[in-house]
Amino acid sequence: MFAVLIPAPAAFAQSGELQLTKSEVATIVKGTGGWVALTWTAAGGDIAGVRMTVVSQTKGVDVTYPANTGDHVSLWDNDTLVDGELDFTAFYLDVDETVNGKDAKLRVEVEMVIDGKRATDNFTVKVPVVAHSGASIEQVTDDAGTVPAGESRWVEVAFTGLAPTTSNVSTAVSASGLEIAYPGEGVSTSLHHDAQLDFGETDVVRFLVDAESTEPGNYRIDLETSFDGGSVPGVVSLEIVSSS
């Protein structure tokens, strides 16, 4: 996917000219965020004191600058471009789930010094945004470890959120040859922190394995994890080890 740039008329006619040479950016999923990197060069002369502010022109899209620049963003190497040099600038976009349309529209306002005089220019950049599609969660744990024979222990299985928000997550477990119990004597187990996974968040479900009368060996545990809008099956392995 490509960002579409629409440069505004230049506000100066000095020998140096700032050019946006590469505007290819990754698509951002609504309800998530991502870094946007734009590549710049100086044509026809040197440019100094480059300082940029990015103004979102799309409701629900917020701009955050790198921590070391605060209220603006500069070039990666320094704030100067010599004639023909390439450098890039990066800023972070948070895109709300409510954003309408297929693009986030941004205005990049540039202040700089050319031939010893202050100059300005601005560019309009469109960043592709899409609604989430595909899996909502991903099972991270495939090996639940070991439980000594003759004991009972809590077992954890981790999940990571792939959608902007996945709500009411709960997991039911079945395992031939194992006794399973859930927190609060329930019929399933939810996530430890809360019942919701945000994009990129990892949390765990816990259930009790009672191995007091279980023979040592490798066991398969089948999972069915449900959430608002669907469910996914899963499997983890567990070894009951001899306590002697």
Confidence grade of residue 22 (pLDDT, cut at 50, 70, 90): confident
The order of strands in the sheet holding 143-148 is 143-148, 230-241, 217-227, 170-174, 189-190
DSSP conformation letters of 26-41 = --EETT-EEEEEEEEE
Give the pLDDT confidence of 82-127 residue by residue, as tens digits. 999 999 999 999 999 889 878 899 999 999 999 899 999 999 999 9
The candidate with the shortest Cα–Cα distance to 217, out of 180, 176, 182, is 176
Give the pLDDT confidence of 122-162 residue by residue, as tens digits. 999 999 999 888 899 999 999 999 999 999 999 999 999 99
Q: How many CB atoms lie within 10 A of CB 159?
A: 26
Q: Which domains does the chain have, with CATH numbers?
A: 4-130 (2.60.40.10), 137-241 (2.60.40.10)
Task: Give the per-residue SS3 of 70-116.
Answer: CCCECCCCCCCECECCEEEEEEEEEECCCCCCCEEEEEEEEEEEECC
pTM of the model: 0.68
